[in-house]
Structure 1
Amino acid sequence: MIPYVKELGFTHIEFMPLMEHPLAESWGYQLTGYFALCSAYGTLDEFQQFVETCHLNGIGVLVDWVPGHFCINDDGLAKYDGSPQFEYQDPVKAKNIRWGSLNFDLSKPQVQSFLISSALYWIEIAHIDGIRVDAVSNMLYLDYDEGPFSLNADGSNRNWPGFYFLEKLNAVIKQAHSNVIMIAEESSSETKITGTIESGALGFDYKWDLGWMNDTLCFYEMDEAFRKYHFRLITFSFMYMRKENYILPLSHDEVVHGKRSLLHKMWGDRYKQFAQLRNIYVYMMTHPGKKLLFMGSEWGQFLEWKSTESLEWIDLDDQMNRSMQAFTKALNLFYQKEKALWELEHTPETIEIIDADNNEETVLSFIRKGKNQSDFLIVVLNFSPIERQNFSIGVPFSGIYEEVFNTEIKEYGGTWTALNQACQASSEPFKHFPYLIQTIVPALGAIILKPKEFDLKRK
């Protein structure tokens, strides 16, 4: 795994829960042993060696962890001494109908101690680099679950012990291990999930942007003819992207239970599906926020994920899948090389929209910026099946702009044999920009341009 991940340019591996659990089909999200590596995965020594080898190869290791609910089995934590010790006394609050598990009573000091000790154990013993806290919304709201629920005495639905526990968890971990990454899988509109506790936030470093994920997949699954009527799906995230430090997740949850693989979600025939998969990856990689891609998606596995079976490695016998894999590698390496895509990520200066209102042609364009004024990229995404000839793009400076990335290049599975020629900016204003360039944008494709020779004086 490690040579493969390194070769393709990924920086981290995130594992679904590795702790002991009795049912493989739960994917590890219903735990019985919070301090034990699942016996099916090997020994703790072997896992420690794996993490160490990842670190020696420049790869970080993140692990999913489930402090909100636990397995209902009698041989686990349920009614530990014959009575509710880890769960609520109130059976309505204790029972998690959605997942068939039991909710931790996070108001109990012994439960808080148990869970925080578990998190510290994996950080200190296994030397993992970060924890993704699963199902945070279930810990924050008393009515998050399906079925009956018990509210607070004043009728409010906030689970205050859940808020206080998460603050305490992050405070303890950051005090002991300031470099550990804390990630929240949180699906509500609750604010201040990320940020320092001193600023009033819960203390997480990142939050999964599930709104971005839902809107994006809805848009790409749509017939191209109707996308111009729903263009806001692909631009709405620009309105709130600075509210939290986000991770853009295309995770296991979206490629299972009949949802289809990412490739299979894309509209159209097989060629269009691969073209749009390349397009969505460029959209994700150039959009502010960290990125998460589930295994198999890097080469465009056609079948959805089956937790009881291996990935469809046989797909790589097909040239289209091999080209898709090569594309993912090239895009990952391009992302790492270009500081404009990450250097100012959580600041207002990181992005400047060129045109997010071109719903008629269904083309989106924006600028990503680094710390130096000269370090910026022009990103253009065409969500329609029509090649855009002489397409106009507003740019901030006069000079020459060269294309540095194109999804339609033949080695990536497209039809173009070369990049577009460099283009000279004209002094004709376009949108709110003082200069204009024109180029070709491939159908269902994306291009990225970079200034080559230019004058930093802006009109």
Structure 2
Amino acid sequence: MANTKVHSLFTDFDIDLFKAGKHYRLYEKFGSHIITVDNEIGTYFAVWAPSAKKVSVIGDFNFWLAEDHQLNVRWDGSGIWEGFIPGVQKGATYKYKIENSDNNTTTEKADPFARRCEHPPKTASQVWDDDYKWKDKEWMKNRKKNNALDAPFSVYEVHLGSWKKQVEENRFLSYIELADELVAYVKEMNFTHVEFMPIMEYPYDPSWGYQLTGYFAPTSRFGYPDEFKQLVDTFHENGIGVLLDWVPSHFPSDDHGLGFFDGSHLYEHPDRRKGYHQDWKSLIFNYGRNEIKAFLISNAIFWLDQYHADGLRVDAVASMLFLDYSREEGQWEPNIYGGREYLEAIDFIKDMNATVYEAFPDVQTIAEESTSFPKVSRPIYDGGLGFGMKWMMGWMHDTLGYFQKEPVYRKHHQNELTFGLNYAFSENFMLPLSHDEVVYGKKSIVDKMPGDEWQKFANLRLLYSFMYTHPGTKLLFQGGEFGQTSEWNFEGSLDWHLLNYDVHKGAQTLVKDLNKLYKTEPALFEKQFSHEGFEWIDHSDHQNSVMSYIRKGNNEKDNLLIILNYTPIPREEYRIGLPKKGTLIEVFNSDATKYNGTGNFKTEKLSSDNKEWNGRENSIAINLPPLGMLAFKYK
């Protein structure tokens, strides 16, 4: 038997911070690190396993024999096991073999802090480091203005495994290939940001990445960690921000994962009412445990620090906020005040956001949160959770519900489109048309639309036009931009051949131009989270299913006038009131021929009439296209 050499990267201060839940760079200490000790190059290992009787490193360098390299437990009661093994180099494959004295269990676990994992279905960790030379200095210097709340923020959501296939070899694109093809596409489409569904290592493809086992490792499915860095770097070199989906809400119970890690409920809450997620058959972190808070916050910091991510979209926040989330009476226990709020999880979320914004004030955290929990995207000092933005799930639900109705019935449901403006400025809302809306029999976005093919695509163009002129930032899932007709399939590829057809090419061109409009018209972004940036002209014309509003920037000259017709009936000489007299210039028309519209309702410029309408002194008569949106500016 050969014990590992006694060595430590931890100082007493590190240990104190870890125990207090205040160490937010644990990845610099835990895991495997290639170092030199006594003139010997090898690897230092450190793992947290307080209930263990014995911990060994087993790997391809010792024939997976537990007796060869036992780790040394620290004397300070931290529960950390560590040691240095000479000669172990980059690429070495390993796990921790952990024996528990209380229940005589022995488990073989992947390293929670591993920087790289074996390609699934293999489950071991790999010793890894790289000296990637970043080339995004210019982006990082200017990132604050690109990520600001008063900047255009238009997100293309991508599942890397199904965006596009390499047809000849019937395989998905690698990080390197994506750095070429995906970056060029996102740039051409004028999106400001890309968001990756989870790229941290996960064992089970049908989970889409939302059941993580390798929190500190980009999945090996598409290449190496430095190649993923190159993908992020290339986006930055092209002026595009990168957001990562992050899952601190739950984790799978796979044998090699975090569950029952050292023979005890180490990472998960020991009370099944707080530690097991019934919907996803997964385990829930113990947010009241200091070391777990430090683990998760270190993980958030890791992706911003080591991979230059520009923000984190935090998954399933609602499931963390409430003890009774998806639980029946008797399946949950109230908090100490008798309420349903999960106080420890709320404290963790606040600590996470405070830490992230202190370390990286130029990034954004975005909550996927579907309840009326107050102040999700408000500062912690104001009683908020501290997120930068929150998904506007109510807008998504109401808007898709409205658009699925035949136009003849829409006059009875116009309030579904207007209701969101009653609360649109209570949070910093992002409007999401995400992957969740195009799976499990929900149909693709365009297939939700009623009518024949022309009407379906006119409705799609109108939906996107409404979305892009509505207050808030934007998110669109891959395929939606060109009217993918089939539901998303994580095993397949987007149906790129559809772009050979005019209706799909037209939809794609429309989204490209809407992104450009959003980026170039200050009225659409400067006050996108403020009621000062929006004013109704008329939301009450249910009978014609027409609505009109003004979007406002910092300068009045930038204001945009928006009119939408939600029926396939053109409206000739439709009159709306104006904020002032003058000449209007058309800046966008969703019915243009290049979008496969009719092209029959072009209005280059119009002069106002001194005729009172909608309670305003001046007005104008406009010919409205069927299922179309028009945007005007004053000359």
TM-score band (shorter)? Answer: over 0.9
**Aligned residue for 2:282?**
101
CA-to-aligned-CA distance 1:318-348 (integer Å, 9 cap, x gap): 1211111111111111111111111122222
| Partner Cα separation in structure 1 for residue 511 and residue 535 of structure 2 | 25
**Aligned residue for 2:220?**
39
**Aligned residue for 2:313?**
132
Q: Trace 1:91-240 onto structure 2 (pairs within 5 A).
A: 91-147=272-328, 148-240=331-423
**Aligned residue for 2:490?**
307
Q: Is the 8 A contact 1:430 1:436 kept in 2?
A: yes
Q: Is the 8 A contact 1:229 1:359 kept in 2?
A: yes
- How far did residue 418 of structure 1 move? 6.4
Query: Residue 291 of structure 1 aligns to a residue in which SS?
Result: strand
Query: Mind listing any 5+ residue stretches in structure 2 that lack a counterpart?
Result: 1-181
- The code of the aligned residue for 2:445 comes to L
Q: Is the 8 A contact 1:405 1:419 kept in 2?
A: no
Query: Residue 481 of structure 2 aligns to a residue in which SS?
Result: coil
Q: Trace 1:298-447 onto structure 2 (pairs within 5 A).
A: 298-416=481-599, 419-447=602-630
- How far did residue 421 of structure 1 move? 4.0
**Aligned residue for 1:74?**
255
**Aligned residue for 1:456?**
none
- How far did residue 274 of structure 1 move? 0.4
Look at both structures and tell me which one has the larger radius of gyration over its CA atoms.
Answer: 2
Query: Residue 162 of structure 1 aligns to a residue in which SS?
Result: helix
- How far did residue 428 of structure 1 move? 1.2
| Partner Cα separation in structure 2 for residue 154 and residue 343 of structure 1 | 41
Q: Is the 8 A contact 1:395 1:433 kept in 2?
A: yes
Q: Is the 8 A contact 1:402 1:451 kept in 2?
A: yes
Moved more, 417-426 or 362-371: 417-426
Query: Residue 263 of structure 1 aligns to a residue in which SS?
Result: helix
Kindly tell me the number of residue pairs found equivalent between the two proteins.
452
Q: Is the 8 A contact 1:205 1:245 kept in 2?
A: yes
Moved more, 146-155 or 350-359: 146-155
**Aligned residue for 1:20?**
201
Q: Is the 8 A contact 1:98 1:146 kept in 2?
A: no
Query: Residue 313 of structure 2 aligns to a residue in which SS?
Result: strand
- The code of the aligned residue for 1:201 comes to G
Q: Is the 8 A contact 1:213 1:248 kept in 2?
A: yes
Moved more, 33-42 or 239-248: 33-42
Query: Residue 151 of structure 1 aligns to a residue in which SS?
Result: coil
Find runs of 4+ consecutive structure 1 residues off by over 3 angstroms. none
- The code of the aligned residue for 1:119 comes to A
Query: Residue 69 of structure 1 aligns to a residue in which SS?
Result: coil
The match for 2:463 among 275, 280, 286 is: 280
| Partner Cα separation in structure 1 for residue 422 and residue 265 of structure 2 | 45
CA-to-aligned-CA distance 1:106-159 (integer Å, 9 cap, x gap): 111011000001111111110000000100011100011245323225532110
Query: Mind listing any 5+ residue stretches in structure 1 that lack a counterpart?
Result: 453-459
Query: Residue 482 of structure 2 aligns to a residue in which SS?
Result: coil
Q: Is the 8 A contact 2:318 2:371 kept in 1?
A: yes
Q: Is the 8 A contact 1:137 1:188 kept in 2?
A: yes
| Partner Cα separation in structure 1 for residue 510 and residue 425 of structure 2 | 29
CA-to-aligned-CA distance 1:172-215 (integer Å, 9 cap, x gap): 11111111111000011001001211111111000000000000
- The code of the aligned residue for 1:172 comes to T
Query: Residue 309 of structure 1 aligns to a residue in which SS?
Result: coil
- The code of the aligned residue for 1:448 comes to A
CA-to-aligned-CA distance 1:196-254 (integer Å, 9 cap, x gap): 11111111000000000000000000111111111111000110011000000000000
| Partner Cα separation in structure 2 for residue 162 and residue 153 of structure 1 | 14
- How far did residue 417 of structure 1 move? 5.4
- The code of the aligned residue for 1:237 comes to G
CA-to-aligned-CA distance 1:243-283 (integer Å, 9 cap, x gap): 00000000000001110111001111110010011001110
